[in-house]
Structure 1
């Protein structure tokens, strides 16, 4: 009967299979502070060793260095009296012995100095590296305190204008941009949820009234459909406005040379049918060749938003004037209507987002939205300014000022009066 074979593992093969546990170093040895300390101490130790080694070699090569190897006996006399025998050596032997003792003392002194330098440099390196890395710890603490919903923390590092200060300023600038981006995102969501609530409620109410009421006739259903159509049109216009203001907040835009008068003319073509339908006269006074650096579609939309308000508010049979021209170092385009005008107290707030203006005749809210806020945003993103000139009962004039390319005088303020 055969014995079952037993597979034997050698001690060497078993050792190979066992995982090798490396000793774990303390946590501080993995820090930049520790590495800087070791680097500083090592450089100082090597420099000191080179200096002491150079001195030792110079002393060693200045002459022979060895103990006294050959001595002589001599008779010693004090005056004429014989004292006894003494051991003497030649002068060269004595000088070599002195050099030998000096080298021995220098070696012992060098070892002591190197040990002291090593210990002192480690302590000084640890302290100095800690002071040098203090701004980094401030940056790390600030970054740890920042939350996704709160980007208000800033480093605001003080001290000399060095690389770490530049790093802290760069991080603060990045946080500013992130904070602005998140703020714009929250504002977009808040605006959308606030403004879409009303048309959605209108759609829901009309649909419920038609679908649940069995006795509703054809006319009621037609009115419900018209109500839903108006609500969806309002929603579409609102979404387009929100997308426009969000897109203009983007950091990178394809700006190029464009004709301001051409953008205004395209906006006039877009609103001409609606103005004719309401019995309004659309008058154009556009000077061609007004070149600005900007986004053609954005500027066309700005003029279009002004025309949209004018067509909606101007009484039938009145005139709307769209003009463009140049005044010194500034290019301009303007929209003037003969509508109800805007109260003096409201003119400073008319460009706010979703601000509702009080009617000058009925006292009720007469319009609201993002239109004028988008106009101001587009103009300011092109380095321009928007002005309003209005009187109650006489109409309003909105002027969009843009700095002319290669302006000579460099005037930072446009003219204070309306150009038309």
Structure 2
């Protein structure tokens, strides 16, 4: 792919060389024509016999100097014009190299503000929308482009802040009525309506979980509000210790290496929780779940129903369910995982296991080498942090 800088260099060099070549060729042709026209009016010199060689310069006995005769004027003109064409070709070659170098430098200087705008756009995310290009220099088209981009960032920052405030307010306004409803159900309903009471409590908890999942999904899609070093291996162990009680007959094992990632500890905890919960929920009786944290990747592998390869993309879509489980979820677990991973600059990969089950891997970007510590892998159960 040819860059704009290369194209501008070629355009500058091409125009410069075209002008130079036209100028030099025109001068040579006019010079040749003028010389031939002028010598046409000169008297024709007497021819010199070729059999009488004359020394370049010699002195006669009487003191007179004998010089060689001058060449014929037409041949002299041809020699001058030929020399002029040789100098022209050499000059064009030198100008070609000079024009390429100068064109490359000039194009780079002209495109420097564009590179600055591009670098700022690549660096921006929802967590650092406060940055601006703040391009200085003459009031030209590039300055206008940079100012327009800064104005767009300012509007986007205000919009994101408004959405974050809405999420916080909605979290409070939605959770409070549900907590009141749950308290009314637990306290107000008598014991003889236990089936109705349990069903109401079940739907109340499910609604709370759905609201929590939607709020976490919205928060993850709007970037990280806070970020810092997080020991991901400790989060994995805490999540596995909490998941032991609800794993039932599913065996959960883990192999972790200490790993520090830069991010939000609350969102990372939710990422690990959703991965483990999904692996336990979508499993078969007596199945297994293997959690591995090594090489900058968190991998969760489980047994369970067969997952068609063409349906892997649906796993990360909100409210998509491939299988019906005993405890039906909201269909947001893996979409939340994907959003949290994206907010942390990580990638999520999914692949079906032979014989059933799924392998999900969250690959984090390599960070500061000082955050890595090489230790012997530890293998332990879900309840052994």
Q: Give the TM-score taking structure 1 as reference length.
A: 0.46
Instruction: Name which one, 1 or 2, has greater alpha-carbon Rg.
Output: 1
1 or 2 for the larger relative contact order (CA 8 Å, sep ≥6)?
2
Q: Give the TM-score taking structure 2 as reference length.
A: 0.49
